[in-house]
Structure 1
Amino acid sequence: MSERKRYLGELISEFIAVTIIIIFGDSVAAMIVLYDPNPYQNAYWGVAIVWGLGVTIAIYATGAVSGTHANPAVTLALALYRGFSWKKVLPYCTAQVLGGIAGAAIVYLNFHPVIDHYNMTHHFTRAGDGGAAGVFFTHPGLAVTAMHSFVVQIVLTGVLVFGIFAITCQYNTQAPQANSGALIIGLLVAAIGASSGYLDAWAINPARDFGPRTFAFFAGWGASAFPAPQHYWWVPIAGPLVGGVIGAGIYQFTLRPFMPNYNPEQAKPLTPVLTEPVAPRTATGSYPATGPQATPVP
């Protein structure tokens, strides 16, 4: 296979990975936002698990082609610390965002009659009230400001990328082996959402929020999507990018040098298609919200 064809396959893989994640994640968001009573009313863990399984399925489907970054925060961290090519960073991120747009479009295709019914029943509008906005993009929850959410996104994405680096570290003898890593990464995403999802909808991935938000802007949500209440739109982009760099750096400089068999002279960066017997890399997450302020619901 030519290098050009392989590179095209990597971009297609990243596009498909995020599309898969958004199809599962935004669909479960629609289930909890649009239906009353919703099927997850007393089982929020189920929402987190669906997002996590979406990540796991995306890894199994695309990991052999691109390594399944599926998150610009992960791509940036890999370029900084694990030798991923800088010239591929922007194309990977673009493919990821386009996957988010495509996934949101598919969810909208399935749920748009229910979205319209929900907004009509509650006397909401898309652009004016942000009715059903939480199906597609995130917003701060109870008592959380945009700036506090920025801090939250740094912390949560730091935890995520720290975990991904630990799970995929070639020197970590306690890391899950081969394909089981995909399940552990999915559970990591679910655990973050289950423990902190109410704070600000648990984006932890710029492509997960920016892609569906862009689709929603053109699908009638307008100012509810951009610039959004509190001019929030930039927070799920900047926060995860900063957090991913910090979380990965903490792992690289505090734990990795003490791993068994680690030798800095022999250490080599991982390629985008993993050659080590470890899991591919990916990350995303969300939590549904609704109403004028897109307030999280149980």
Structure 2
Amino acid sequence: MEIEKATAGHGLAGTDIWSADDSNCSSTPLSDFSSQRYYKRAQSPSPMVEHEDFLIRPDIRGKDKEERETEERRRHIKISLYKRFRRESREPLSEMLGSALLIILGDGAVAQALLSNFEMGNEVTINLCFGFGLTMGYLTAITGGAAGHLNPAITLANCLFRGFPWRKLPIYVLAQVVGCGIGAACIFGIYRNAITAYDGGRRQVTGTLRTAGIYSTYPVSFLDLPGRAMQEFFATIVLVFFVNAVACQSSPHLSYKLPTEWNLIRALVLGLALYGIGASLGWQTGYAINPARDFGPRLVSYMAGYGREVFTTAGYYFWIPIVMPCVGAITGQLLFDFIVYEGEHDNFVTNPTMAVERLMENMRRNKKSLDADIEESRFDGTRKYSKRPLHEKKVAGTGA
């Protein structure tokens, strides 16, 4: 009764907070406290703080204070340039490293087989190494947070049909080309003495002692221009079918669906797919089916002393491994979506109106996200972000 009288004027009588049975604030019996102490606690803006158990019982104290202290410390910590660089460039660098591994293993197998007069390798080992290079490159890229495309044509198809951000397209393409170039440069540095011993120091693109095929692809002499284009076009369609078959397993007749955690199985299947393409469709043009895989190493061979002939030979063949894989990837994606695909993304065949709307919305959303990323990167030492719009200019004489 004394408790109810003491707290009646403060609107706290009858509430659960003062119930001896339901109280979460103390394990001490009610008789241990006088009505005067309860009256003081009721007047306090934080009645829980005066309780002695608040300091010793974590279930009462909770983590609010610790979280506030941690957030306060984080607010005053300035992120180092290294951490910012690593956070912002980890994805493209992972894609670049995966592309480099693809070329190191693939072109390395070509160099070893050719420079040893096919005593230390042959077409089987070359195709196997390209497949294993794709496996290791894919695993390395996705471990670093990248998509693991390793191919500008695949990236373009994913932007068009699978909602991959368009703002990442140039970044991924640049990372893939640079990565393939780095891989080719590594092979040139490793096998430089062997190449010199093979061709006598005279770098040749054509002829009996040609070694330019170590880096990029060149067609056989009897294949005409339409045949070269069709070869790369068709081989890329097959590659896209393989990629989609691994990524989209949604058939109702399957008793299982390969989980995304099984990335090793996916990588091995992709490697076997590339081996199959090379063993069946790789003879006439070298199955580039990847603009970065061909263009990056071709630039390296140009700088390594092979000259302009790497671009002019075979009737300026160099553009076919760049253009036709992109056309083949788009065509293959259209065919796959028309025949097989049923997923969360509307395709341009079954629902073109919705697909166009999704594409435009995706482009607008990516533009807003890019503006937000640029705005977020503009902060001072106190971590307070600038609220000034990006298009706003300083007014002369005002210091704004």
TM-score, length of structure 2 as denominator length: 0.60
Residue equivalent to 2:278: 193
| Inter-CA distance 263–94: structure 2 relative to 1 (3 Å threshold) | closer
- Of 228, 242, 250 in structure 2, the residue corresponding to residue 163 of structure 1 is 242
CA shift for structure 1 position 35: 1.2
Residue equivalent to 2:204: 126
2: distance between equivalents of 1:10 and 1:254?
A: 33
- Is 1:221 aligned to 2:306, yes or no? yes
Structure 1 residues without counterparts, runs of 5 or longer = 270-298
Give the number of aligned pairs.
261
Residue equivalent to 1:211: 296
CA shift for structure 1 position 131: 2.2
2: distance between equivalents of 1:263 and 1:105?
A: 41
Range that drifts further, 171-180 or 187-196: 171-180
Residue equivalent to 2:99: 18
- Is 1:181 aligned to 2:259, yes or no? no
Identity %: 32
| Inter-CA distance 142–9: structure 2 relative to 1 (3 Å threshold) | same
1:61-92 Cα offsets, whole Å, 9 max, x none, are: 22131120100010000001100011111111
CA shift for structure 1 position 170: 5.4
2: distance between equivalents of 1:163 and 1:30?
A: 28
| Inter-CA distance 255–40: structure 2 relative to 1 (3 Å threshold) | same
CA shift for structure 1 position 252: 1.6
- The code of the aligned residue for 1:39 comes to M
Q: 1:62-211 maps to which residues of 2 (within 5 A)?
A: 62-64=141-143, 65-120=145-200, 125-126=203-204, 129=207, 131-169=210-248, 171-172=250-251, 173=254, 176-177=258-259, 178-179=262-263, 180-211=265-296
Residue equivalent to 1:277: none
CA contact (8 A) 2:106 2:130 kept: yes
Structure 2 residues without counterparts, runs of 5 or longer = 1-78, 347-354, 359-400
2: distance between equivalents of 1:162 and 1:7?
A: 32
- The code of the aligned residue for 1:153 comes to E
1:232-274 Cα offsets, whole Å, 9 max, x none, are: 01010001011111111211221013xxxx5668xx99xxxxx
Larger Rg: 2
- SS across alignment from 1:200: coil
- SS across alignment from 1:233: helix
- SS across alignment from 1:88: helix
- The code of the aligned residue for 1:223 comes to R
- SS across alignment from 1:98: helix
